[in-house]
């Protein structure tokens, strides 16, 4: 079986925290690839500030240069609320010879009991949980904990800094920063 990690997210915008957890989990669990899946409408939080097209382009910039990183944009193509169970059902049917590991930060681990059709989803993926400051990794659902240095960066932090007119140099890849500036993203949001 091919072993593939999935990192689903809003990526509004993608940042170094995303890239570091993806690479660290890939190495720890000996995964061949990481597929980044940008959501269309995040199921349980406010709508993204940037459009799916902008988020997709920023993500493409963020993952360029790592051959093991791919983007799978099926949630954007499907539109509507991006429930993970629908996504993983589709991918499991499309790739029956692949074992999927779904990477989640501790904020999402705490939230797992509220996920849509979670009892179905746990049979489709193995959750790989990573620490995130302010959250616990405890869950009534099976989660494999992967030791990753705690990176205290979030998209909310990046958006807030940009709105305040401050630099976000070094927190996001340069190419993502250039794209954000070119398109004036987050300056007034
Ligand atoms: N710094 C981080 N450390 C660990 N996990 C993270 C980190 N940033 C994001 N994640 C995880 O990556 C996935 C996608 O995150 P998402 O794209 O929503 O970014 P975010 O920084 O949490 O965004 P926001 O601040 O807008 O809520 C989630 O499972 C989230 O827990
Ligand atoms: O399916 C659900 O009910 C569900 C609830 C919360 C989050 N998720 C998924 O978890 C990933 C991270 O979510 P977020 O909100 O941090 O971008 C993303 O792929 C979401 O679709 C999924």
- Residue 77 belongs to domain with CATH number: 3.40.50.620
8 touches ligand 2 (CB under 6 Å): yes
Out of 8, 50, 72, 102, give the residue to mutate to test ligand 2, the one with the largest number of ligand atoms within 8 Å of its CB.
8
Q: Mean pLDDT over residues 110-138, rounded?
A: 95
CA distance 181 to 162: 10
100 touches ligand 2 (CB under 6 Å): no
The verdict on residue 164 lying in a domain is no
Band the pLDDT of 150: cuts 50, 70, 90.
very high
CA distance 112 to 104: 10
User: What is the predicted pLDDT for the residue at 49?
Assistant: 97
The verdict on residue 145 lying in a domain is yes
Q: Mean pLDDT over residues 80-96, rounded?
A: 98
Please report, rounded to a whole number, the percentage of residues in the chain having pLDDT higher than 90: 93
CA distance 102 to 34: 10
The verdict on residue 86 lying in a domain is yes
The reply to whether ipTM tops 0.90 is: yes
The verdict on residue 157 lying in a domain is no
- pLDDT of 189 > 90? The answer is no
Which ligand is the nearest neighbour of the Cα of 171? 1
42 touches ligand 2 (CB under 6 Å): yes
Looking at the structure of the chain, the number of domains it has is: 1
The burial of 41, by beta-carbon neighbours within 10 Å (0-12 exposed, 13-18 middle, 19 or more buried), is given as: middle
pTM higher than 0.95: yes
CA distance 21 to 36: 12
The verdict on residue 69 lying in a domain is yes
The verdict on residue 179 lying in a domain is no
Please report, rounded to a whole number, the percentage of residues in the chain having pLDDT higher than 70: 99
User: What is the predicted pLDDT for the residue at 130?
Assistant: 97
- pLDDT tens for 23-49 read 999 999 999 999 999 999 999 888 999
- pLDDT of 58 > 90? The answer is yes
User: What is the predicted pLDDT for the residue at 115?
Assistant: 96
User: What is the predicted pLDDT for the residue at 136?
Assistant: 87
CA distance 16 to 66: 13
127 touches ligand 1 (CB under 6 Å): no
129 touches ligand 2 (CB under 6 Å): no
The verdict on residue 155 lying in a domain is no
């Amino acid at each position: 079986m091919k072993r593939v990690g999935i990192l689903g997210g809003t990526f509004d915008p993608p940042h170094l925290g995303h890239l570091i957890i993806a690479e660290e989990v890939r190495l720890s669990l000996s995964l061949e690839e990481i597929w980044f899946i940008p959501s269309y409408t995040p199921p349980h939080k406010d709508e993204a500030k940037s459009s799916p097209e902008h988020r997709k382009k920023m993500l493409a910039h963020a993952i360029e240069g790592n051959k093991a990183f791919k983007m799978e944009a099926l949630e954007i193509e499907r539109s509507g609320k991006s429930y993970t169970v629908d996504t993983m059902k589709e991918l499991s049917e499309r790739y029956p010879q692949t074992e999927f590991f779904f990477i989640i930060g501790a904020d999402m681990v705490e939230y797992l009991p509220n996920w849509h059709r979670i009892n179905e989803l746990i049979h489709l993926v193995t959750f790989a949980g990573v620490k995130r400051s302010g959250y616990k990794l405890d869950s009534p659902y099976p989660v494999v904990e992967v030791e990753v240095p705690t990176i205290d960066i979030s998209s909310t932090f990046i958006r807030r800094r940009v709105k305040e007119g401050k630099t976000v140099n070094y927190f996001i890849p340069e190419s993502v920063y250039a794209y954000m500036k070119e398109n004036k993203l987050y300056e007034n949001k």
